[in-house]
Structure 1
Amino acid sequence: MNTDMEKRVLRRISWRIVPFIMLLYFIAYIDRVNIGFASLTMNKDLGFTSSVFGFGAGIFFFGYFLFEVPSNLILEKVGARLWITRVMITWGLISGAMAFVQGSTSFYVLRFLLGAAEAGFFPGIILYLSYWFPARHRAGVTALFMAAAPISTALGSPISAALLELHGVMGLAGWQWMFIIEALPALILGVVVFFYMTDRPEKATWMPEDERAWLINAMNEEAASKSGHAKHSIWRGLADPRVLALALIYFGTSAGLYTLGIWAPQIIKQLGVSSMTVGWLNMIPPTASVIAMVLWARHSDRTSERTWHVVGACLVASAGLVFAGNADGVFTVILALTLVNIGISAAKPPLWSMPTMFLSGSAAAAGIATINSIGNLGGFAGPAMIGWIKDLTGSFMGGLYFVAALLAISAVTTLLLARSQRKSAAASAAAAQAASN
C-alpha cells in the first residue's frame, strides 16, 4: 500500500542514495570505456591492430569474471561502505596507470587488472539497493542508477575528445592525459564513500526514528516472504537455473553495451569527421537512451511486468545493430546507434529487478554477482569479435550482425525463462491445493 509513510521514506532514501551512486557509476563507466576514445590516437601510436585493441579492451571482463562473486560476497559480509571504498581507489590507480602502456602485453595486463579491481562494484550496488528499496520500486531506482552509464557517455565523450587535444603537453600524448585526468575522480570519491555511505537502514542515523523503523520492518517482511533456504545458501544463488538463464540474457545486453562504449567512436570516426566532432556526435544516442530507460522502467514498475519489457528492448537493440551495419551516412549511423542505445539501456532495469524477487541474503549476493560476472563476458565477446572480423573483412558489418544475434538470443531466453516460471508456479499451486484437500 502506498501510504504517506512509504512516500516519505522513499523520498528521503532516494535523495540520499540515488544521486550519489549515480555519480559513482558515472565515474566507473567513464574509466571502463574511455579506451574507446583513447583508441582514436593510441592505436596508431602503439601500433595496435583492430584485433589487438578489441581483445585488450574486452579482457577487462575476464578479470571482472574471476573476482566478481568473491567480491560481492565480501561486500555482503563487511558492508558496502568499506568495500566500495576499496574498489574505487584500486580501480582509480590502475585506470591512471593505463597512461603508461607501452605495448600489447602491458595493455592486456592493465585492462585485466582494471576488471579485477572494479569487480563487485556494479553488482554490489544492485545488492545494496535491495537493502533499501522494496522490490516493487526497484526497477525505477535501478533505472536511475543505470542511467549514469549513458549519461557518462553523453558527457564524457566531448570531455575525452577535448583531453586528446592536450597532445604534447609535458611530453605526454593526449590519450595519456585522458587516462590520468579521468582517473582522479575515482580516487577522490573513493575517500568520500567511506564517510558518506550507510551500509544498512539499521545504521541510518540521518533518518527520523519512525521512518527508519518503518523501512527496517518493510525490508524484513520482504526478506521473510522469500523461501527460507534462499536467505542463507550461497550455493543456491550460484546454481539456481534462473540465475544462469538471467546470466545468458545479460550476456547479450553486455555485448551490445560494450560494443557501443568501445567501438562507437571508431564507427563514427570512419565517416571522416574530426575527433572532437566524434565526441559531440557520440553524445546524441546515450542522451536519448536516458529518457527511454527511465520511462520504460517506470512502466515496468507500474505494470509489475518484467518479461516483455526485457524482450522488446533487446529486439529494438538487435534491429538497431543490423541497421548500423548497413548505414553509410552521419544521420543514419547516429540514428542506428540511438536505437541500439535505447534498447540496451531500457532492457537492463527490468532485468535487474528479477533476481532479488526470488533470492535474498548471501544467495542474492552470489546470484547477482554470478549474473553480472558471466553476463559481462559478453563485454569481451562483442568487442573482441568486432575487432577480429574488422581485421578479416575491413568492415564493422559482420561484427555488428554477430552482436545483433546475441541480443536476439537474449530475447528468446527471456521468453523461455518466463514460460518455465509459469509452469513452475502452476505446479506449486496444484501441489499446495492437493495437500490442502
Structure 2
Amino acid sequence: MSDERKTVEVIHTQRSTDGDSDSRDDIEAGKPALTDEERAQRIRQDYLNRQVEERLAANIDAPPSNNLSSLWKKNKQDRSPDKIATQPSVFDDPKLGPFFYPGEQYENRHRFDPAFRWTWGEELPLIRRIDWRIMVWACIAFFSLDLHRKNIGQANTDNFLDDLGMDTNDYNTGTTIFRFCFLVSELPSQLVSKKLGPDRWIPMCIVSWSIVGGAQFFLQNATGFFATRALLGFLMGGFIPDVILYLSYFYKGTELPFRLALFWMANRSTDIISPLLAYGILRLRGVGGYEGWRWLFLLESIITLLIGVWSWFRMVPSPTQTKKPWRKDGWFTEHEEKIIVNRILRDDPSKSDMHNRQAITWKMLWESICDYDLWPIYLIGLTFSMPASPINQYLTLTLRALGFDTFNSNLLSIPTQVWTIFNMLIFTWISERINHRALLGVSVQVWLLPCVIALAVLPSGSSRWSTYALVTVLLAYPTPHPMQVGWCSRNSNTVRTRTVSAALYNMIVQVNGIISANIYRQDDRPEYRRGNRILAAIAGYNIILYVGVWWFYRWKNQRRETKWSSKTEEEKQDYYANTKDEGSKRLDFRFAY
C-alpha cells in the first residue's frame, strides 16, 4: 500500500472518530473545509512544534544554569551494550505515525521501518565508524580549503608583496576581493549543491580551487593577484554550508554541535600545519630561478588537488548509497543502514521532507531571509571576530617587522593556533553544558579588549618578545563561531530556515572579514595604533551587542510565555489547529540565548 493511500485512510479514520466536528465547525464558521492534504500538513506541523517544545523545555524554556557544577553532571541514560537504543518517536503512535512516514522520493525510504529496534552495542560503534568515514573526510576537506585561503600569510614572509611591487593597501584590496567573492557565491553554491548533491559538487570545487591556487605560481603583478583572489573566493564560497548540510544526513541534531567544533578545529589545525609546510617549502627560493612563495603555491595546490580527487571517490550521497564500482560491498550492512536511517528520522522526521538532490526554491530562500528574529545573531556575526581578525591577518608581517626572519616568523605563528583549538573545544562544550551563548560571547570580548588596548598604547621601544607574547595571548582567544552556528540553527525551528540560515550567517561573517581587511592601512604602519584603537572600540561595542541580544531573546520569551500562559487549554488547542504562524514565529516556540 502506498504512503499516500495510508495517509488518506488514517485521515478518514480520524475524521470518523474525532475529526468530523472540526470540519463541521469550519463550515458553520464560514470557513472552507480542509482538504486531506491540508489536514495532514496541519497534523504534522502541530506535532513537530509540540515535539520541539517538549525537547527544549528542559534546556531553553527554563532559565540557563548559572551553576558551574552543571559542567560535571553525568548523563543518566543507561547506554549498556545490551540496552535498547531506539528512542521514542512519533512513529510509535499508530494514529500520528503515518503522517510522518518518508515519501517515496526520500533516498533512504527503503530502509525506514517504524517497528525496527536496535541496541547501544550496535549504535555506538556505528557512530564511531561514521566519524572515521565522514568527519575525518570533512576535516581533511576543510584543511584543503584553508591551506589556500591562508597560505598568503606564509607567502608574505618571503617578500611576496615586494616581489610583485605591491604594498599593504594592495594586500588589503586582494583580501577584500576574496571575501566579497566568497560572500556572493555562498548561497548560489548551496543552491547548486542541493540540486546536484554535495557528494558531486564539493569535489568539483576542491579540484577547481586547487588549479587556481597552483596558477598563482605564475603571478607577475597586482592584477593577476586580484584575479586569482576573486576566483578562489567564488570557488570556496559555498563549501562550509555545503558540508554542514552533508553532515546532517548522517548525524542527529544533538550530535552536530561538538562535531562542528571538531570541524572548525581543522580550520585552526591548518594554521599549525601550514607554517610547518612553509618552513620547508620556502627554502626552495632560488630553485629554478623562482621565489620560494611560488613553490609554496604550486606544491600546496598539488596536495589539495589530490584531496579533491580522493573526495570524489570517498564521498557518498547518503547512508544507503555507499556502494560504488570500486567499493562493491559499501560501507554498511543492510542492518547498519537501517540503524542510521531510523535513528536520524526518529530524532527529526522532517529530514525526510527533501531528497538529497532536491533544490531549495527562491521562495523558501526569501522567507528565510525575512525571518527577522535571526537578525540579532547575524548582527553578532558581523563584528564578533573583528577585534582579532586584522591582528591574525597581519601576524606574519608583524613578526617580520619585529625582526624575526622568514622561517622563525612561520614557526612563531603556531602556538596561538594550538591554544585556540584547545580553547574553542572547551568553550563550545561549556556553552552546551550550561546552556549560555550570549553571555559567553561577552567573555570572549572581555578577553580581547584589554589585549587590543595594550597593543594600542604599547611604547615603540618595547621588546619584540613582549609584543609577541601579547599578540599570542590575544589570538589564543576561544572563538565562539561554532557555538553561534549552532545557536542560529536552534533558533531557526524549520528545516527550510535552518538550511538557509547557516549560509546567511556565514555570508555575514564574510562581510566581517571584508571590513576587517581594511582596518590596518599603509599610513598606519608598522604599529597600527589607529587601527588598534578602532579594534578596541569594536570590542566594547560587541560587549554591548551581546548583552542586548541576550536581553532581546529573554524579552521575546517572557512576552510569549505571558501570552501563552494566559490562554485556556481550549484556546491553546484552537491555536494549534488554526494558527498561520510558522517556525520561530509560533507563540509556543522559545528562543535560545
Q: C-alpha distance in 2, partners of 1:246/1:257?
A: 19
Change over 3 Å in CA distance of 1:184–1:112 after alignment to 2: same
Higher relative contact order (CA 8 A, sep 6+): 1
Task: Describe the SS at the equivalent of 1:308.
Answer: helix
**1:435: Cα distance to partner?**
5.1
Superposed, 1:96-245 pairs within 5 Å as 96-203=214-321, 205-224=330-349, 233-245=364-376
Aligned to 1:299: 430
Alignment-mate amino acid for residue 317 of structure 2: D
Task: Describe the SS at the equivalent of 2:216.
Answer: helix
Q: C-alpha distance in 2, partners of 1:39/1:301?
A: 39
Aligned length: 432
- Bigger drift between 253-262 and 349-358 goes to 253-262
Aligned to 1:420: 552
| C-alpha distance after superposition, 1:188-236 (max 9, x if no partner) | 111111111233334355234445434433433444589x9xx983223
Aligned to 1:365: 499
Change over 3 Å in CA distance of 1:159–1:417 after alignment to 2: same
1:45 pairs with 2:163:
yes
**1:11: Cα distance to partner?**
2.3
Question: Which of 464, 486, 497 matches 1:353?
Answer: 486
Question: Which of 2, 14, 17 matches 2:134?
Answer: 17
**1:153: Cα distance to partner?**
1.0
Change over 3 Å in CA distance of 1:291–1:283 after alignment to 2: same
Q: C-alpha distance in 2, partners of 1:69/1:120?
A: 7
**1:408: Cα distance to partner?**
4.2
Change over 3 Å in CA distance of 1:63–1:80 after alignment to 2: same
**1:256: Cα distance to partner?**
5.1
| C-alpha distance after superposition, 1:76-112 (max 9, x if no partner) | 2322111111211111111112222222222222111
In structure 2, the gaps of 5 or more residues are 1-76, 80-84, 86-119, 323-329, 354-359, 571-593
Aligned to 1:86: 204
Change over 3 Å in CA distance of 1:377–1:130 after alignment to 2: same
Alignment-mate amino acid for residue 377 of structure 2: L
Q: Which has the larger radius of gyration?
A: 2
Q: C-alpha distance in 2, partners of 1:406/1:394?
A: 21
Q: C-alpha distance in 2, partners of 1:219/1:168?
A: 55
**1:63: Cα distance to partner?**
0.3
Task: Describe the SS at the equivalent of 2:517.
Answer: helix
1:313 pairs with 2:413:
no
Q: C-alpha distance in 2, partners of 1:153/1:48?
A: 24
| C-alpha distance after superposition, 1:223-259 (max 9, x if no partner) | 4589x9xx98322332222443323322324545642
In structure 1, the gaps of 5 or more residues are none
Task: Describe the SS at the equivalent of 1:346.
Answer: coil
Question: Which of 234, 251, 271 matches 2:402?
Answer: 271
Alignment-mate amino acid for residue 349 of structure 1: P
Alignment-mate amino acid for residue 556 of structure 2: S
Task: Describe the SS at the equivalent of 1:201.
Answer: coil
Alignment-mate amino acid for residue 314 of structure 2: Y
Change over 3 Å in CA distance of 1:248–1:21 after alignment to 2: same
**1:281: Cα distance to partner?**
0.7
Change over 3 Å in CA distance of 1:419–1:104 after alignment to 2: same
Change over 3 Å in CA distance of 1:262–1:76 after alignment to 2: same
**Over the residues paired in the alignment, what is the CA RMSD in angstroms?**
2.7
Change over 3 Å in CA distance of 1:209–1:128 after alignment to 2: same
**1:309: Cα distance to partner?**
2.9
Task: Describe the SS at the equivalent of 2:380.
Answer: helix
Change over 3 Å in CA distance of 1:100–1:140 after alignment to 2: same
Q: C-alpha distance in 2, partners of 1:267/1:45?
A: 18
Question: Which of 364, 377, 387 matches 2:511?
Answer: 377
Q: TM-score, normalised by structure 1?
A: 0.89
**1:264: Cα distance to partner?**
0.5
Asked if the contact 2:261/2:425 (under 8 Å) is kept, the reply is yes
Change over 3 Å in CA distance of 1:276–1:394 after alignment to 2: closer
Asked if the contact 1:255/1:383 (under 8 Å) is kept, the reply is no
Q: TM-score, normalised by structure 2?
A: 0.67
| C-alpha distance after superposition, 1:21-48 (max 9, x if no partner) | 1111122112101111212311111221
Change over 3 Å in CA distance of 1:49–1:413 after alignment to 2: same
Asked if the contact 1:251/1:377 (under 8 Å) is kept, the reply is yes
| C-alpha distance after superposition, 1:389-415 (max 9, x if no partner) | x42454323223333443444443333
